[in-house]
């Protein structure tokens, strides 16, 4: 780390504050807006795995057009659900997952909606989602943030990779564990958490890409651990690999 860097961090909160502010300047500050209802958001999140936003939306609309209710999706032959979401990819894995989640919700709640989460504190709402079959920290955070407007941070592959390279989390921290660490540092402002999520993904797609980070044109390089290491490698330690792991 450059000790004379304007972004040299005395602690993780100060570091993430600088990064979040810089990302806002480069990619725009954003405000959370109401999105889908919680159950719709949960299904949409399952459909979004390993596919583009466009194909996710297409698969979701196709599913809604093919079945009048979530109950109809729950009791349909799994092959029919898979056919309805084919455009989203991995349909034969996503269809049974969606049905398992719907079965779990019905067993727990007696109705197929998640509107009760609106009244729960963040930790309780998260715990409730995580008990569902096949719902992990990222999926739960998507529902909490996008639908419920809670300051929960979904850590997808871009957020995880860029956070590691920047030094916001250690290089050995997995994506699941990163949720709690980054959320604690970001604080409880939902607009800020939302902007950080969206802007880290934008940065991961445009500049700090998986294939290689384009550090020379990166607006964050003065506060990036990976860049500091590459720019002034220690004679005793080997260089970090490009994915920061």
> Could you list the active site residues?
138
Among 44, 144, 159, 224, binds ligand SF4 (CB under 6 A): 224
CA dihedral 53→24→167→244, nearest 10 degrees, is 40
Give the whole-angstrom CA distance, residue 195 versus residue 187: 13
Our CB check for ligand SF4 shows the closer of 59 and 218 to be 218
Our CB check for ligand SF4 shows the closer of 31 and 217 to be 217
Among 126, 192, 197, 221, binds ligand SF4 (CB under 6 A): 221
DSSP classification of residue 145: I
Q: Which two tokens stand for residue 50?
A: 């390993």
* Smallest separation (angstroms) from ligand SF4 to the CB of 68: 46
Burial of 242 (0-12, 13-18, 19+ CB in 10 A): middle
Among 23, 95, 166, 182, binds ligand SF4 (CB under 6 A): 166
* Smallest separation (angstroms) from ligand SF4 to the CB of 155: 16
Per-residue interface string for the shown chain with ligand SF4, residues 124-163, x marking contact by CB under 6 A = --------------------------------------x-
Our CB check for ligand SF4 shows the closer of 5 and 62 to be 5
Question: Helix %, strand %, coil % for the chain, to 5?
Answer: 60, 0, 35
Q: List C-alpha distances in Å: 182 to 22, 79, 131, 155, 200.
A: 16, 39, 22, 9, 12
Q: Applying CB under 6 A, does 213 fall inside the site for ligand SF4?
A: yes
Q: Applying CB under 6 A, does 168 fall inside the site for ligand SF4?
A: no
* Smallest separation (angstroms) from ligand SF4 to the CB of 234: 17
Among 32, 70, 128, 226, binds ligand SF4 (CB under 6 A): 226
- Of the chain, the end-to-end C-alpha distance in Å amounts to 17
Q: Applying CB under 6 A, does 214 fall inside the site for ligand SF4?
A: yes
Nearest partner of 18 among 1, 43, 37, 33, judged by Cα: 1
Radius of gyration (Cα) for the chain, nearest Å? 20
Q: CB of 178 within 8 A of CB of 152? A: no
Give the whole-angstrom CA distance, residue 129 versus residue 157: 21
Determine the interface stretch with ligand SF4 among 58-66, 68-76, 168-176, 213-221 (rule: CB under 6 A): 213-221
Among 165, 179, 197, 229, binds ligand SF4 (CB under 6 A): 165
- For ligand SF4, the binding residues (CB under 6 A) are 162, 165-166, 207-208, 213-215, 218, 220-221, 224, 226-227
């Amino acid at each position: 780390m450059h000790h004379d860097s304007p972004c040299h961090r005395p602690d993780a909160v100060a570091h993430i504050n600088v990064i979040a502010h810089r990302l806002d300047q480069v990619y725009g500050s954003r405000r959370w807006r109401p999105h889908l209802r919680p159950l719709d958001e949960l299904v949409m999140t399952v459909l979004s795995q390993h596919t583009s936003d466009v194909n996710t939306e297409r698969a979701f609309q196709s599913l809604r057009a093919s079945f009048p209710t979530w109950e109809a999706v729950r009791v349909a032959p799994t092959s029919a659900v898979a056919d309805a979401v084919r455009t989203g990819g991995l349909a034969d894995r996503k269809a049974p997952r969606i049905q398992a989640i719907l079965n779990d919700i019905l067993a727990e709640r007696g109705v197929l909606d998640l509107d009760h989460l609106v009244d729960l504190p963040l930790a309780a709402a998260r715990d409730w989602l995580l008990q569902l079959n096949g719902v992990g920290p990222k999926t739960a955070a998507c529902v909490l943030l996008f639908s419920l407007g809670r300051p929960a941070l979904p850590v997808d592959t871009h957020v995880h990779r860029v956070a590691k390279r920047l030094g916001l989390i250690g290089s050995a921290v997995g994506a699941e564990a990163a949720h709690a660490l980054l959320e604690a540092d970001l604080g409880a402002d939902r607009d800020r958490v939302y902007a950080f999520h969206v802007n880290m993904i934008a940065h991961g797609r445009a500049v700090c890409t998986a294939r290689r980070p384009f550090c020379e044109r990166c607006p964050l390089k003065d506060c990036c651990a990976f860049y500091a290491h590459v720019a002034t490698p220690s004679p005793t330690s080997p260089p970090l690999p490009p994915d920061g792991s």
